[in-house]
Amino acid sequence: MYSQGLIGSGSENEESEAFLARFQARIDAEEKIEPNDAMPLAYRKTLIRQIGQHAHSEIVGMLPEGNWITRAPTLRRKMALLAKVQDEGGHGLYLYSAAETLGVSREEMTEELLSGRAKYSSIFNYPTPTWADIGMIGWLVDGAAIMNQVPLCRCSFGPYARAMVRVCREESFHQRQGYEIVMTLAEGTDEQKEMAQDSLNRWWWPALMMFGPHDADSSNSDQSMLWKIKRFTNDELRQKFVDATVPQAEKIGLKIPDPDLKWNPEKNDGAGGYDFGALDWDEFWRVVKGGGPMNRDRIAARKAAWENGRWVREAALAHAAKREERAATAKVAAE
Amino acid sequence: MATHLTPLWEVFIRSRNGLNHKHVGSLHAADGDLALQSARDVYTRREEGNSIWVVRSEQILASDPDKAAETFEPAADKVYRHPSFYDIPDDVGHM
How does DSSP assign A126-162, residue by residue?
S---STHHHHHIIIIIHHHHHHHHHHHTT-SBHHHHH
Residue A10: per-residue pLDDT: 46
Q: Give the minimum alpha-carbon distance from A180 to chain B in angstroms, rounded to a whole number.
A: 6
What end-to-end distance do the CA atoms of chain A give, in Å? 34
Interface of B with A in 21-50 (CB under 8 A): none
What is the predicted pLDDT for the residue at A1? 32
Give the pLDDT band (50/70/90) at residue A140. Answer: very high
Per the document, the length of chain B is 95
Cα–Cα dist A145/A202, whole Å: 18
Helix or strand holding residue B53 (H, E): strand B51-56
The pLDDT of residue A5 is above 80:
no
- Pick from B36, B40, B16, B9: which is nearest to A37 by CA? B16
pLDDT tops 50 at residue A250 = yes
- If you average pLDDT over residues B4-15, what whole number do you get? 93
Q: Which residues from chain A sit within 8 angstroms of residue B88, using beta carbons?
A: 176, 179-180, 183
- Rounded Cα distance between B38 and B11, Å, is 10
> Is the separation of the CB atoms in A156 and A24 below 8 Å?
no
Give the domain ranges of chain B: 8-63
Interface residue A177 vs chain B (CB under 8 A): yes
In this structure, what are the phi and psi dihedrals at residue A34, rounded to the nearest 5 degrees?
-110, 160
User: Among B17, B82, B92, whose Cβ lies nearest the Cβ of A34?
Assistant: B17
Spatial separation of the C-alpha atoms in residues A34 and B16, rounded to whole Å = 10
User: Cα A142 to the chain's mean position, in Å?
Assistant: 9
Q: What is the CATH number of domain B8-63?
A: 3.10.20.520
3-class SS at A219? coil
pLDDT of the residue at A333: 81
Q: Which residues of A touch B85 (CB under 8 A)?
A: 80, 173, 177
CB burial readout A96-134, b (16+ within 10 A) else e: bebbbbbbbeeeebbebbbeeebbbbbbbbbebebbbbb
Whether residue A37 is predicted with pLDDT greater than 70 in this model: the reply is: yes
Distance from CA of B19 to the nearest CA of A (A): 7
ipTM beyond cut 0.85: no
The residues, any chain, with a CB within 8 Å of residue A214's CB and separated by 6 or more, are A234, A235
CA of A160: how far to CAs of A2, A77, B5, in Å? Answer: 16, 31, 40
- Polymer length in residues for chain A: 335
State whether B80 and A79 contact (CB < 8 Å): yes
pTM of the model: 0.90
Q: What is the model's pLDDT at position B56?
A: 96
Burial zone of A144 (CB within 10 Å; 0-12 exposed, 13-18 middle, 19+ buried): buried
The mean of the pLDDT values for chain A is 93
